[in-house]
Structure 1
């Protein structure tokens, strides 16, 4: 007979972890199923953690090579992709041990293998040795994440063709790379490879980089990418990929041909639902493997929930964790939860330099006919930025001309993803607390990057008449 639980969570990424921890702390008997060899999900092993660790290493390398403090006649330090991978692997190990401890301390039962539905209360687990286990539960949460989209006409088994998961197995230092797909993942890896002096072609399907961003931020990124030597090709679609013994040739629909030592295909992701046997419970994912859910993250089957990448937007690790907790709250209470994701979810893009934003863009506010004003602070004018030798970047605050309510914040430059949260905290204040004048009337440590908020607020308020 199958062991029975109050809840089973499929997947140990941020969404699964958030759900499991809340359920366990509310006294529920919880089982976790993970198909990989250790906990953490794609976020820890192939996505967020390793790519950000790689980015940090490359950023420090660039800083060393450009810092006059170490002498202008110094020999440039060179690192290979394999060398910076060692730092990423160290971070992954620490994260896995940390997260394994969470499950152990909260007495969650961990099962390793591939889960599939038998019915809406029962799961089959196929272990690595081929043996089968069966578990049942009152409620089941699908937090299986996503994987890189792989077109059938591209040979990903070729030693010079990679996706954003397999790129972490790259065991040589390429002289050149084509990155197909200029979304968040493609742009971040373009920064990493160019920082390692790899000739980088970034192929974009659209007319500008990261078109969901405020146009000024997108333009700033494009400028700095080109200034660093990245070749950006907009409005391009591939026709075919020709693999050669020493690399790849990408044939474009426009007639162009590009040759490189390797290809990173980073154009879209697919929800990991194809092996769950969802037909057994009457669920049908869309063409991208994603499931529909309600405000409590319930699917069309009342006792089955889904969170994280497997439900699509916003496909952020931070949001997935909160979604898992909200779903768990609904299970614990047995009714609709009043908890919801915050309206303005911050975005952090770990390119070099970083970009982070929260709230509306200028383009959105213009389309909505909202009377807004702009306050700006250039990092090169901040004492802390000058001390750090990092003068690239800016902070932009968008606020209502009449109420002075902050409507959007956009930051470009080193530590942008940290800086953004200061403004986000004020944006979340109710009953008139969201007001740009807060930054004028408070006192900031000096010198700090946070001082950019005071500078930007004064700059914007001076525009009012």
Structure 2
């Protein structure tokens, strides 16, 4: 069939773009081989943050006495109910999107695996489809590191972990980065013994050392064991569980093994060679600042282009492409600031450069820090873990980066993000009156106490 546009992948960018193109009067083919909603809705943000919420309730219930609240009996976990709640939240998003894609005028929703047969032609279920515009939003998947014996054990990725029938007795996690740490805390709070194995000398090693250390200490306080600078020499079955042998270290016997050691774009089976579309060594489709591939009329959005691994960056990819094609704008990927969060409890909100990155880039620095023990709202909530930090260019007074690890840190950091996007000096925020008592009100105070870094 002939269309005005083909969109491959019903993740975060694809459907929004399909709806926008259809609203402009174009005939659009929306192709998806799996559940609508992509990773975020089905195996990423939506289910995991639902689990984080359940785990937080359990954690606070166990701390009830700290707040003068008494509860009858021991706090327990009903995993089938926890999982059912998670699946209901996922289904609400997925099913609503599926219905919209199937009922929107101008969109033909095609289920199946799409492969290029030519630069502007694709085959799905043995049928040929062509369009002058093709948009790829095919996402990525978890990959396993080259660990001897890993192929012999039933290891889990983030998707399969969500489908387990019971809370693990002992969950071992390969990878001490964002996905691994969120699952570590969740399942520890659900009652599992949890062990993290990380090859770097620090957890989430891209962060500044004090942030990594604070997160390590936070997880350790909950009983999570981390082996840092450790490598797995071999993995083997151990009855119904898994045995991990560390190089020069102990043996770890676990009931379940989660591999959270990286992801690879879903581009190996798209037939990109037939279209002449180039990829890098990791499999990411090469794009320019407007997300165009090297084939005119073909764009790549989301995780598959290597320009961002988050739902919010994928959505921004949609906004950039739609604005440039349909609104006559000239938006670029490089206009956006890097920002993300680690959704442990408390969370980490991050924007811009770390102190190490800013120093390496040659900036003369002013640095501000404030522990959450000196934030009244955190003290009142009984959640004083963490700190806030800002890195400022000493010459321009522009904020280069910020991190807030602490209660509501994932929300409070947006004030810094907005100021950075506006390109105004830190004094604008320093002199702004914030509401008391909040976490955000201490950001101007911290900025007023900047020291040469």
Tell me whether the two structures share a fold, i.e. TM-score over 0.5.
Answer: yes
* Post-superposition CA distance 1:377-436 (Å, at most 9, x none): 333333332332222232212223344322211100122211111111111114xxx222
Residue in structure 2 matched with residue 377 of structure 1 by the alignment: 370
Alpha carbons of structure 1 residues 203 and 277: separation in structure 2 relative to 1, 3 Å: same
Q: Paired residue for 1:220? A: 214
Aligned position for 1:52: 49
Q: Which of residues 157, 171, 194 is equivalent to 1:163?
A: 157
- Using the alignment, how far apart are the partners of 2:26 and 2:422 within structure 1? 34
Give the CA deviation at 1:70: 5.6
**Greater relative contact order structure (CA < 8 Å, 6+ sep):** 1
Per-residue CA deviations over 1:298-334 (Å, capped at 9, x if unaligned) read 222212211111122421111011112323444447x
Which residue does the alignment assign to 1:304? 298
1:441 matched residue in structure 2: 431
Aligned twin of 1:121? 120
Q: Whole-Å Cα distance in 2 between the matches of residues 336 and 399 of structure 1?
A: 31
Corresponding residue number in structure 1 for 2:18: 20
CA 1:292 to 1:248, structure 2 compared with 1: closer, same or farther past 3 Å?
same
Name the structure 2 match of 1:129.
none
8 Å CA contact 2:391, 2:401 repeated in 1: yes
Count the aligned residue pairs: 449
Whole-angstrom CA distance in 2 between matches of 1:365 and 1:282? 38
Q: Which range moved further: 50-59 or 380-389?
A: 380-389
Q: Hey, what does 2:38 align to over in structure 1?
A: 41
Three-state SS of the structure 1 residue aligned to 2:89 is: helix
Of the candidates 82, 85, 88, which is equivalent to residue 83 of structure 2? 85
Range with greater deviation from structure 2 (86-95 or 136-145)? 86-95
1:108 aligns with 2:107: yes
Greater shift, 369-378 or 294-303, is seen at 369-378
Structure-2 change in CA distance of 1:336 and 1:289 (3 Å) = farther
Alignment CA distance shift 1:276-1:179 (3 Å): same
- Alignment of 1:198 onto 2:197: no
CA contact (8 A) 1:374 1:398 kept: yes
The offset of 1:354, in angstroms, is: 1.0
Render the CA deviation track for 1:250-280: whole Å, top value 9, x for unaligned: 1233354211111001111111112212222
Deviates more, 1:231-240 or 1:417-426: 231-240
**CA deviation vs aligned residue, 1:215-256 (integer Å, no higher than 9, x gap):** 221111111112221111112222322123320001233354
Higher mean Cα deviation, 246-255 or 87-96? 246-255
- Alignment map for 1:58-69 (pairs within 5 Å): 58-68=55-65, 69=67
Asked if the contact 2:152/2:237 (under 8 Å) is kept, the reply is: no
- Give, in whole Å, the separation in 2 of the partners of 1:70 and 1:46: 37
Structure 2: gaps (5+ residues) = none
Partners of 2:46 and 2:224 lie apart in 1 by: 24
**Does the 8 A contact of 2:152 with 2:236 survive in 1?**
no
Structure 1 residue 106 displacement after superposition: 6.3
Residue of 353, 374, 377 corresponding to 2:346: 353
Q: Distance in 1 between matches of 2:221 and 2:21?
A: 49
Residues 404 and 113 of structure 1: is their aligned pair in 2 closer, same or farther, counting only changes over 3 Å?
same
How far apart are residue 345 of structure 1 and its match? 1.8
Contact 2:366/2:392, CA 8 A, preserved across alignment:
yes
Query: Would the alpha carbon gap of residues 63 and 92 (structure 1) be closer, same or farther in structure 2, given more than 3 Å must change?
Result: same
For 2:249 and 2:301, the matched residues in 1 are separated by 42
Q: Is the 8 A contact 2:175 2:260 kept in 1?
A: yes
Is this contact kept in 2: 1:39–1:96, CA < 8 A?
Answer: yes
Deviations 1:42-99 (A, max 9, x none): 1110112111111121122112211333636753312154432222212211212343
Name 2:379's counterpart in structure 1: 386
Name the CA shift for 1:17/1:420 in 2 (closer, same or farther; >3 Å). Answer: farther
Which aligned pairs between 1:35-434 and structure 2 lie closer than 5 A? 35-36=33-34, 38-68=35-65, 69=67, 71=69, 75-100=73-98, 102-103=100-101, 104-105=103-104, 107-126=106-125, 132-150=126-144, 160-254=154-248, 256-332=250-326, 337-430=330-423, 434=424
TM-score when normalising by structure 1: 0.89
Q: Secondary structure at the match of 1:370?
A: coil
- Quick one: distance in 2 between partners of 1:400 and 1:139? 43
